[in-house]
Amino acid sequence: MKKIARAALLAAAVAGIASSASHEARAQASRETLKTVQGRGVLNCGIGTGLAGFGIADASGTWRGMNIDFCQAVAAAVLKDAGKVKFVSLSSKDRFTALQTGESDFIAATTTWTMSRDTQLGLNFRPVYYYDGQGFMVKKATGIKSAKELSGASICIQQGTTTELNTADYFRKNNMKFEPVTFATNNEATEAYESGRCDAFTTDQSVLYSERMRFKKPDDHLVLPETISKEPLGYIVRHGDDQWLDVISWAHYALLTAEELGVTQANVDEMREKSENPDVRRLLGKEGTFGQALGLDNDWAYRIVKAVGNYGESFERNLGQQSLLKIARGQNALWSNGGLQYAPPIR
């Protein structure tokens, strides 16, 4: 009996060691995204299915947008070549699974950071690259000027997003009723609204402005003034890989720091060689060894700015006054200009 007991204990110990080793192997794999990307030589960047201003393919098939710029910025930092990116186009339904299974290395799409997503999916959201909020769009011919006038309206909504719950909460809090008309994709919801199947269309305000530009007569549509939710859009990585989370976070912070310091795509070479500002010198790798802690060299941030410019340049080119969307910076202005975009110091 003692021999059987000892055998059982030994078997349990071996099983425990095997289980622990298996868990450690998975944890090790999740900790090595940077090593995997550099070994592969290509960054697999998860993006959306196509949204003007953030990520959409032009007539030649070239992807453009603020999220595209960031994918290229990370490739420039990690692979020393902004062109070494494979864009993995993902629907809202598939994006989290693609990251969890390793199909994409991180997600750069218009995805809202929520508690449930952050804590239940094995993912990390950081940082917030765009502060957004949900709104409504209607045809001007309806005469509607406020979301408070939408009681009883049919509303086009995309499934699998925070939009569904936010809409229900808004109408409930205002003692109003509505008829949800849901669709699997944003394109389907947009097309249904434009064709007249719904009285209104709701999604993040940035998306409303983007989609309105695709209509035959954009000026016939009005984005209502109410913002009914907080929609912080964040880049997403897997749990368990602090180094990769740091790389993604500091790539964004480098873009913000460059804007704050006046470092642009046009002057980055001159600033790198001639500036005596210690903040500029640390950013561009002339002082300190800040790239080492990220697993990169000291020129990582220099290559980012050289490839895509600073945060403000990317914003204005894709979303702001240089684009067709002409979205105001608003909350996405730098903290020094009254906005929420703020980068920790490089020191």
**Residue 292: predicted pLDDT:** 95
Instruction: Give the Å distances, CA to CA, from 177 to 162, 174, 193, 208.
Output: 19, 9, 18, 22
* In the predicted structure, residue 220 carries a pLDDT above the cut 80: yes
Judged against a pLDDT cut of 90, whether residue 246 lies above it is answered with yes
> Mean of the per-residue pLDDT values for the chain?
91
Q: How confident is the model at residue 214 (pLDDT cuts 50, 70, 90)?
A: confident
pLDDT above 60 (res 4): no
DSSP H or E run through 308: helix 300-308
For residues 235 and 129, the answer to whether their CB atoms sit within 8 Å is yes
Whether the pLDDT of residue 7 is over 90: the answer is: no
Query: pLDDT, tens digit, for every residue of 95-126?
Result: 999 999 999 999 999 999 999 999 999 999 99
Tokens of 276: 């005596």
The arithmetic mean of pLDDT across residues 325-334, rounded, is: 93
What proportion of the chain, given as a percentage, has pLDDT over 90?
84
- Give CA–CA dist 191/254, Å, rounded: 38
Render pLDDT for 170-191 as a digit per residue (tens, 0 to 9). Answer: 999 999 999 999 998 888 999 9
pLDDT at 162: 85
Residue 203 in tokens: 């999604």
pLDDT at res. 22 = 39
The answer on pLDDT for 2 being more than 60 is no
pLDDT in tens, 52-97: 999 999 999 999 999 999 999 999 999 999 999 999 999 988 999 9
**81 exposed, middle or buried (CB, 10 Å; 0-12, 13-18, 19+)?**
middle
pLDDT tens sequence across 137-174: 999 999 999 999 999 999 999 988 889 999 999 999 99
Alpha helices (H) along 80-144: 95-100, 115-120
